[in-house]
Amino acid sequence: MQPDVRWTDLSLAQIAHELTERGTPFSPPSVKQWLAAHGLAKRQIAKTLPGGRSPDRNTQFDYITALREEYLAAGNPLFSIDTKKKEQLGGLYRAGRVYCQEAVRAFAHDFPSWATGVVIPHGIWDPVRNHGHINLGLSHDTGEFACESFRWFWYRSGRWHYPQATSIVWLCDAGGSNSYRQYLFKQDLQRLVDAIGVEIRVAHYPSYCSKFNPIERRFFPHVTRACAGVLFDTLETVGHLMRKTHTATGLTVTVHVMNKLYETGRKVARGFTKNMRILFDRVLPKWNYRAVPQL
């Protein structure tokens, strides 16, 4: 075993053949046992390296940890929020395997033009209740969609579980439909808090750190597993599969379809930046702020 060799693409049979050719007869099962004894096993490439690093990364992580402890101790709700990868409806191939008598047939190519529609899953995960909710959008992933997704969830579930809530925390990524750079998102957020009457405090994970958002590890992977290997032939199929998501630790899931068409290219209302009721925190205000409802 050469210490500088970290991987090999040779099969067990090929390794056994090479060793036998060099005078040490080995069978493929023996090679497998030998590799296991040295800690070698088949592994996928791990997508863990960040594309960059923010100089304020550790400060923001510490701040988020403090917010979580503060809100959970006070009984105020904290939600991890993000939009899952867009899915195509129709007979397009999807990764994964299921038990069946014969393979389910899909198109030979994954051309988006062959899809019958698009599904944009916006997720909301509650760590206290270990409950995830998904609103399925049918048009575009915009700030307005993200905010209306939460409003639907809050009216039909959130406020009944947290009737005494005086403030809500959102843990969000730095970009996407809830980008910290966009005043349009802050405008939609302001309209949301005016509607529900509870302030929302937003804490963004630093750039290149979206995988640390809890929803990415505690909710979305289980949804992906529940849907693996099945065609998203209809919207009803998508909803049915996602609702079946569960874990041994008690994760529950609800799903709702939002039929509204959300526009792209919207502009911030004139005068919003001067009159907005967004209060920026002293610690890294670009990533931490509150939207306060109008009294």
Domain-wise residue ranges, the chain: 1-43, 57-291
Residue numbers in the chain where pLDDT is lower than 70: 1-5
**The predicted structure's pLDDT at residue 34:** 82
Q: Residue 53: what pLDDT?
A: 81
Domain 57-291 class, CATH top level? alpha beta
Cβ distance 235 to 77 under 8 Å?
Answer: no
pLDDT at 252: 97
Predicted pLDDT of residue 50? 75
For the chain, state the CA radius of gyration: 24
The reported pTM is 0.88
pLDDT of 2: 65
pLDDT at position 106, please?
A: 94
- Per-residue pLDDT at 8: 79
237/89 Cα distance (integer angstroms): 10
Please give the pLDDT value at position 139.
95
C-alpha to C-alpha distance for 278 and 221, rounded to whole angstroms: 33
